[in-house]
Structure 1
């Protein structure tokens, strides 16, 4: 029997490509199962195989349980702790007591039981091996052969009985594959599913585009050129931002290649998707200007607080700057990470004039200064009373014509204006009346509603947006009651 065991382990290990230890464990499990069945499942069994000789021993075993535990099934598998200590004085619940019993012959065990256990163990090992191997390859482009099309999803054979799926949403527009076609795709994720490991791939993600450039442009692989960001309108157009780590290199020229050969290879792989190569710049405004190509930006206004930029182009280039269905501005926004608003020079001038007029009126009324001084503040980039009040005096003294007396007066007036506004807002809030939907809310009292209204919580929607802790800071009530009240206020959200 020992030689037969070793022969089975050797053959299955070679055929399935899994470790011998896994086959040994599978055979041990199969023998243990067959032993239990030969005793009508009235005993639990463990089998131990000598890895060198193939000899094996069988043990009947009992799991030690607490004295007060009720046993319904497999009574013969357990022993109470008070009885176990008579055999082994120091044993604890959860441990096992074992005694040798006669082993069944390996050749006579239930063939189907042994086969199923071994196949299951081997299959689990194979699946684990696939997950481990391909988890290391997430982020790579792999080539597979189309095995079948399932509801629009493309199933690829990667070889060695490993399949991958490209979901329909991750395919390029107008892309059709036939059985046997060879397809390249980007490995996005590997997960373990009940039916085995699942490898998810994509041809529509921007990482696919970036990896293709790494393959086609050696300078990228050698870290002489970096791809900083990419944006895709899948199957139609894409933008890729690059920079050179060596000042002697032309990153755009390197990516385009001789006679456009390199970028054309990427375009062909992506089903004809047009690709713009953009020069990345550490200056955000210049980077945005580059990203708007082929449209030329004539002026730009940056709002760092809102992370937006207003771009002006010639009236004749407005449609080109926006692009078909907003494609160009959308890709530039995704590429740069800035919210971009494009408009004609005429509209930009009108918008600037309107904003400047509003800011000038704010300073004229709030600081009680003339339009000339207000215009100077606007020209220097001041937009709010808070900026005037709290910007360091040293910065304001750099403005031509400003001295310490003027700066001190402006800052004092700005702080007074802000204080007046704050008092007015508090009075307005204190006099606020709760809305009827807040008063009608189940569990709401008139006193509670007025307290909430005094803090700016006027409607049911206002209450719905609060957290439990925030409500408890305003109203004295039980935490559970506060949570329940907020849930009632949010009921319309779920309807």
Structure 2
């Protein structure tokens, strides 16, 4: 096929037809044609040449141009596409008769008659005869055009769907592959994976389907659109479609937890005191929530009022069970809920479903106890502390119980509390209070002495024993774990000392800390480790103070 006047207009007509069919910019198709023709010309004239093709967007005329770039002598590598300044001087003349040629400098045409001599970077363009495409060259050109068109189509598809991530889309089922559903979503295909379907729902080709666009990725085979019907966000978007107050921002969805196809909980709050968030989501005679339930294959939905107070919110989240008491451990991210004995099965739910959904909704680990279990535990703690005071302070059972009932839980509290606090206990005078504190201090000093002896026997060095902030019992615990010097201590992570929580397969797993039994927090662990590093010269104290000052400024700005 030769590029002649007979088929010049066909180039533009073909480009427009392809662009219209694929819904892409016609100019992209023309650029693909230019690249394919240039590649064909190189196979005809030589692959080392720099040949460029320009198709006139109005007439369809294709112009083939050979380009040679001026380079410094030492940079000359390709004699077909480059030339030195000396070689260029012979060509740096006004256009010769009968030849189409011109010079470009910085992308602009220059007149050799008025411009200074050739400079590195200048380009000499010389129009050459168009090529005639043989069968192989024509096939190669076609492949280039198709590839460019596919790339443009994929890019258009990605740009269209990337901004729709996080929304609901309607589509038509095309086919099923290994349990995954391929969905026609208009200008592309999306995939609904087997684990993103609700329960055992099945689809046949031609069925209409509604799903949530969970992710849009660029991949070598083209943009991949991943759908989901099990994502919590799918339910939230469905409520936004059914409840105008949510769409308008009057009601806000704060949290969603789902057991897809079975049960779900959704927490909502109203920013208008005149509107009940739960009633608005339920709708007249349950019409709004029923529309969502029908879409989710009969999934039961509990609509819960959200509350800033975690305990109140949790009580709401555990509905329909009644809650007697809530105890929150914010540092551990755990919460204990005490329920009446007859409410235990209702609070836990079938196969733990109710408490699991409440945990997802609040973001806390929930332990549920009956009133009887909590009572037994309190009694066990009371007995344990009573025995501690009886054994260590040589007290009778009545007096030890009296201390525990007044809130004393450890020897340290008895030894170092203000003496007036002890004297406020009925039956305790000044002499008795001082005797109690003296006994407690003697016991603690003896415990400290033994702990230091054990730590030294384990190899603990004075640098660690004398480090400010560590008690003898802490040093002993560290030595048992192989931490025997201040250098060892300085290399520890805060969670290794204070413990923490790690999420594994969606469940929070406890990491036991070496010093966790001494009630050490993460902040205290960080402070001690940093002080050790400063003492060793690993950290500049001035930089540390600057960092703390910056953090203080950031907190102040946030409060402002």
> TM tier, shorter chain?
0.7 to 0.9
Query: Deviation of residue 362 (structure 1)?
Result: 6.4
- Pairing 1:26–2:32 present: yes
Tell me the distance in 2 between the aligned counterparts of 1:337 and 1:185: 26
Give yes or no for the alignment of 1:176 onto 2:191.
no
Matches within 5 A, 1:191-230: 191-230=217-256
DSSP 3-state at the match of 1:159: coil
Counterparts in 2 of 1:52 and 1:174: CA distance versus 1, 3 Å: same
Give 3-state SS (helix, strand or coil) of 1:8's partner: helix
Structure 1 residue aligned with 2:504: none
CA-based RMSD of the aligned residues comes to 4.5
Does 2:51 match 1:45?
yes
CA distance in 2, matches of 1:251, 1:243: 6
Residue 454 of structure 1: aligned partner = 484
Change (3 A) 1:99 1:215: same
**How big is each residue's C-alpha offset from its partner over 1:226-263, in whole Å with a ceiling of 9 and x where there is no partner?**
11101111111111111111112121111112222211
> In 1, are the aligned partners of 2:85 and 2:118 still within 8 Å (CA)?
no
TM-score (norm 1): 0.74
String of CA shifts for 1:63-97, please: whole Å, max 9, x gaps: 788988998xxx66664879888788642xxx685
**1:152-171 correspondence to structure 2 within 5 Å:** 152-160=179-187, 162-171=188-197
1:452 to partner: Cα distance: 4.8
Distance across 1 between alignment mates of 2:36 and 2:20: 20
Distance change (3 Å), C-alpha of 1:288 and 1:83: farther
For the residue of structure 1 that corresponds to 2:166, the secondary structure is: coil
Contact kept in structure 1, 2:328 and 2:336, CA below 8 Å:
yes
Structure 2 CA distance for partners of 1:163 and 1:385, relative to 1, 3 Å = farther
Unaligned runs of 5+ in 2: 93-116, 461-478, 497-528, 537-560
Residues 1:345 and 1:6: Cα distance change in structure 2 (over 3 Å): same
Aligned residue for 1:293?
319
Structure-2-length-normalised TM-score: 0.66
- 1:237 paired residue number: 263
Deviation at 1:130, TM superposition (A): 0.9
Tell me whether 1:282 sits opposite 2:308 in the alignment. yes
Matched, 1:335 2:365: no
- CA, structure 1 residues 60+383, in 2 after alignment: closer, same or farther (shift >3 Å)? farther
Matched, 1:141 2:168: yes
Structure 1 residue 114 corresponds to structure 2 residue 141: yes
Q: 1-side partners of 2:160 and 2:411: how far apart?
A: 58
Instruction: Check whether the contact 1:206–1:230 (CA below 8 A) recurs between aligned residues.
Output: yes
Provide the C-alpha distance between the structure 2 equivalents of 1:268 and 1:151, rounded to a whole number of angstroms.
27
Instruction: Give the Cα separation in 2 of the matches to 1:353 and 1:199.
Output: 58
Mapped to 2, the partners of 1:119 and 1:412 lie a distance apart of 92
Q: 1:107 to 1:240 in 2, by over 3 A?
A: same
Aligned partner of 1:490 in structure 2 is none
Q: Kindly state the Cα deviation for residue 364 of structure 1 after the two structures are TM-superposed.
A: 8.0
Work out the number of aligned pairs and report it.
434
**What's the CA shift for 1:264?**
1.5
Asked whether the 8 Å contact 2:63–2:130 carries over to 1, the reply is no
Q: Distance in 2 between matches of 1:311 and 1:421?
A: 37
The structure with the largest alpha-carbon Rg is 2
Q: For 1:320 and 1:67, how far apart are their aligned partners in 2?
A: 87
| Residue matched to 1:375 | 405
Q: What's 2:41 paired with? A: 35
**SS at the partner of 1:297?**
coil
Q: 1:67 to 1:306 in 2, by over 3 A?
A: farther
Distance 2:439 2:79 in 1: 90
Residue from 331, 335, 341 that aligns with 1:309 = 335
Q: CA deviation at 1:177?
A: 1.0
Indicate if the aligned counterparts of 2:70 and 2:119 stay in contact, CA closer than 8 A.
no
